[in-house]
Structure 1
Amino acid sequence: MKRMTRKIFQNLSSLLLGLYGSLSLLMAQSSTGIDQATTEISSYVDPVSNLIIAIGAVVGLIGGVRVYIKWQSGDQDTQKAIMGWFGACLFLILVGVVIKAFFS
């Protein structure tokens, strides 16, 4: 029984030492990788946020035309359409601004 306990203890200690060695190696590599990923993500932030803001502007123009057509035809639900399109445009524009603020 003592031999089995000693063998388990030796195996467990060598496993822990191996994990510690590989973990310290991973930590040294991960800081370089994190710095590189941060630089790369920062280079994509401005174009992506500008694209989202541009999509919001296009959605706003299309929504404005659709609401105008509904209003001219005398539909009763123009206020609901205005709120829906306005909410969509506001959401897209705010997402673009928040992305810039969060990653810059």
Structure 2
Amino acid sequence: MKQLSNLRRSLLIAGLLALRITATLAQSAQGIDQATSEVQSYVDPIANLIIAIGAVVGLIGGIRVYIKWQSGDQDTQKALMGWFGACLFLILVGVVIRAFFG
């Protein structure tokens, strides 16, 4: 009789523990969902900002390369590739961020 009482008590404790773990996991899932939606709300403005910075870098680079070209500098191709690479990198980062987090 005492073993049956101990078994019931053990089952009751195990059941309550399982319910508590389930409630805790549900709260964790709600927190993760909230964090995900908050991060997704920042993705579009940040991606747009990075793309805009890439466009400005491209314009500045184009002007600087044009000035070098007009002055007869021999490093025009090197400067062009450097500025174009920086502009392309920034634009691609903006697109990849939007694709990854959006």
TM surpasses 0.5: yes
Give the gaps of 5 or more residues in structure 2: 1-16
TM-superposition CA deviations, 1:47-67 (whole Å, max 9, x none): 000000000000000000000
Work out the CA distance in 1 between the residues paired with 2:70 and 2:24.
65
What is the number of equivalent residue pairs in this alignment? 85
Aligned-residue offset at 1:80: 0.3
- The residue identity in structure 2 corresponding to 1:58 is V
Q: Does 1:56 align with 2:54?
A: yes
Q: Which residue of 2 aligns with 1:86?
A: 84
Give the gaps of 5 or more residues in structure 1: 1-19
Instruction: Give the alignment's Cα RMSD to 1 decimal.
Output: 1.9
Q: Which residue of 1 aligns with 2:71?
A: 73
Work out the CA distance in 2 between the residues paired with 1:26 and 1:72.
68
TM-superposition CA deviations, 1:36-55 (whole Å, max 9, x none): 00100111111000000000
Aligned-residue offset at 1:103: 1.0
Runs of 4 or more, structure 1, over 6 Å off, are: none
